[in-house]
Amino acid sequence: MKKQSVFVSLLFLALSANYLLAQQADQKSVAVTVYNSNLGVVKDLRTINIKSGTSQIAVTDVAQFIDPTSVHISLNGEVIEQNYQYDLVSLDKILQKYIDKEIQLIGENSELIEGRLLSAFAGQIVLEKKEGGLLMLPNLSKYRFSVGALPEGLITKPTLLWTVNSPATGKQDVEISYQTSGMNWHAEYVAVLNSDDTELDLNSWVSVENKSGTTYKNAVLKLVAGDINLVKEQPMYDYRVQEMMVKSEGISQPQFQEKEFFEYHIYNLQRPTTLANNETKQISLFESPGVKAVKKYFYKSGQYGYYGNPSQTGKVSVVVEFENKEENNMGVPMPKGKVRMYKSDGSTLEFVGEDLIDHTPRNENVRLKIGEAFDVVVEDVQTENKKITDRVWEQAYEVKFKNRKKEDITVEVERFLGVNWEILNSSLAYEKKDAQNIIFKVPVPEDGETVLKYRVRYRY
32-81 confidence digits (pLDDT tens): 999 988 899 999 999 988 888 998 888 888 898 989 888 888 888 888 88
Q: Check if the beta carbon of residue 145 is closer than 8 Å to that of residue 9.
A: no
Question: Residue 415: pLDDT band by 50, 70, 90 thresholds?
Answer: very high
CA–CA distance, 178 with 33 (Å, rounded to integer) = 11
Whether the per-residue pLDDT at 162 is higher than 90: the answer is no
Q: What confidence category does residue 309 fall into, taking pLDDT thresholds of 50, 70 and 90? A: low
**C-beta of residue 99 within 8 angstroms of C-beta of residue 128:** no
Is residue 96 classed as helix, strand or coil in its secondary structure?
helix
Mean pLDDT, rounded, for 433-459: 96
Sign of CA dihedral 344, 350, 356, 358: positive
More confident position, 460 or 455: 455
pLDDT at residue 392, rounded to an integer = 95
Q: Supply the CATH classification number for the domain 91-147.
A: 2.30.30.100
Sign of CA dihedral 213, 217, 222, 225: positive
Domain boundaries, the chain: 91-147, 292-459
Tell me which amino acid residue 169 is. Answer: T
| Eight-class DSSP state of 268 | E
| 159-166 sheet: strands from edge to edge | 53-60, 159-166, 78-85
Tell me what the pLDDT averaged over the chain comes to.
Answer: 84
Residue 264: pLDDT band by 50, 70, 90 thresholds? confident
Give alpha helix (H) positions in 377-452.
Answer: none
User: Picking from 105-114, 207-216, 313-322, which range would have the lowest pLDDT averaged per residue?
Assistant: 105-114
If DSSP codes are grouped into helix, strand and coil, which group holds residue 241?
coil
Alpha-carbon torsion (248, 277, 254, 319), positive or negative: negative
